[in-house]
Amino acid sequence: MDLRTLNVIVVRITTYYVSQGNSRQDAAELASEELHWLRRRAHAHQSSTVETDPEQRQRHLQHMVDQLVREHKPLAYILGDQPFHPLRTPLELRPPLLIPRPETEYWVNQLSTLLPPSASSQESPYRILDIGTGTGCIPLALVHSLLHWQPTSISASASAPIPDLHIQALGIDQSPLSIECATHNAQINDLSSHCHFTLLDLFDPDLIEKLAPPFHLVVSNPPYIPRQEWAELAPNVKQWEDEKALVAGEDGLLFYSRIVELLPRLLRREGGMVALEVGKGQVPTVRKMVEGLGMTVQVMVDQWGVERCVVGSSIRTSPHR
């Protein structure tokens, strides 16, 4: 593809992102990065078919750009997958499954460094519960990190997993598509023996009995957008991603209240930990909820300096039991 055509595409994508409220510099950076991935996919598409015509590759690329700009289709949906560190194989996803965000990836990697090294060498399984699992990104990344734990670091470049480690993660979601994709993502990342996914509703009155606690760690990136903010979201979010995976009642706190209500029955009394992703301005309220259980709380900041995750450790009292 000639340079002039590529420049026209870059300008087109840049103009689109400027129209969505991004600065011209940010829009240009996004355009350059996304064009890189689209070109790779167009090349891979041509390589996987008998078609060798360069014009066919260009038409396929233009079609993907049309999806991005005209249909507001997110890049991850166009490509059909999304990388999530430290997993070696990108996560499969399809609309309207929630697309894993960079800020989620960031705090999950931070959290993995807080987990006890003994978690990967206990006689009884170290159990993780992920509520609202989506693609399965959170439990898959955490289990991968534990399986590849080294004395000096937790790294995607570490040695092969140590066999027979007692780690079990369970992801639950009310979306059948979520369970299908998360199960597939466990398979393609060689984590099926450690990660399992099942269709369950957080508000099911029999949830505790179905989950068979206790767990060492409960994690969640729940819906947390207040209902009135939904209409203000960018078209590539509200026209494509599942509203149920993003919106949580009038104040955005519906799911936190339910999770905190259940925590005393979900977590081990000694050494239990919870990690909850939060939205803008929600830290004080969610922190107070978790501290109300007698837990020690710390707040993780994402790569942009935003308070992003509330982490609670060791329940001392159980007021909701």
Residue-wise pLDDT for 61-92, tens only, equals 999 999 999 999 999 999 999 999 999 999 99
pLDDT of 271 strictly over 90:
no
Provide mean pLDDT across the span 164-189. 95
**320: in domain:** no
**321: in domain:** no
pLDDT of 152 strictly over 60:
no
Distance (Å, whole) CA 235 – CA 184 = 28
**265: in domain:** yes
Provide mean pLDDT across the span 212-217. 96
The residue that leads in pLDDT, 23 or 4, is 23
Q: Are residues 67 and 116 in the same domain?
A: no
pLDDT of 156 strictly over 60:
no
Find the Cα–Cα–Cα–Cα dihedral 96, 300, 306, 78, rounded to 10°. -20
19 lies in which domain range? 3-71
Average pLDDT score, the chain? 90
Q: Are residues 20 and 162 in the same domain?
A: no
Q: Are residues 271 and 239 in the same domain?
A: yes
Is residue 87 a contact partner of residue 141, using CB atoms and an 8 Å limit? yes
pLDDT band at 155 (very low <50, low <70, confident <90, very high): very low
pLDDT of 287 strictly over 90:
yes
Provide mean pLDDT across the span 255-272. 96
Q: Are residues 59 and 100 in the same domain?
A: no
pLDDT of 176 strictly over 50:
yes
Q: Are residues 12 and 129 in the same domain?
A: no
State percent of the chain over pLDDT 70.
Answer: 88
Alpha-carbon separation of residue 185 from 81, 83, 138, 171, 197 (angstroms): 10, 11, 11, 12, 11
Provide mean pLDDT across the span 21-28. 95
Distance (Å, whole) CA 23 – CA 170 = 41
DSSP string, 237-288: HHTTS-GGGTB-TTTS-HHHHHHHHHHHHHB-TTT-EEEEE--TT-HHHHHH
> Please, what is the angle between helix 3-19 and helix 54-69, to 10°?
10
**138: in domain:** yes
pLDDT digit string (tens) for 100-121?
999 999 999 999 999 876 665 5
Secondary element (H or E) of residue 312? strand 307-313
Q: Are residues 28 and 89 in the same domain?
A: no
What confidence score (pLDDT) does residue 318 get? Answer: 44
**63: in domain:** yes
- Give the distance from CA 171 to its chain's centroid: 12
What confidence score (pLDDT) does residue 44 get? Answer: 80
Q: Please state the domain count of the chain.
A: 2
CATH of the domain at 282: 3.40.50.150
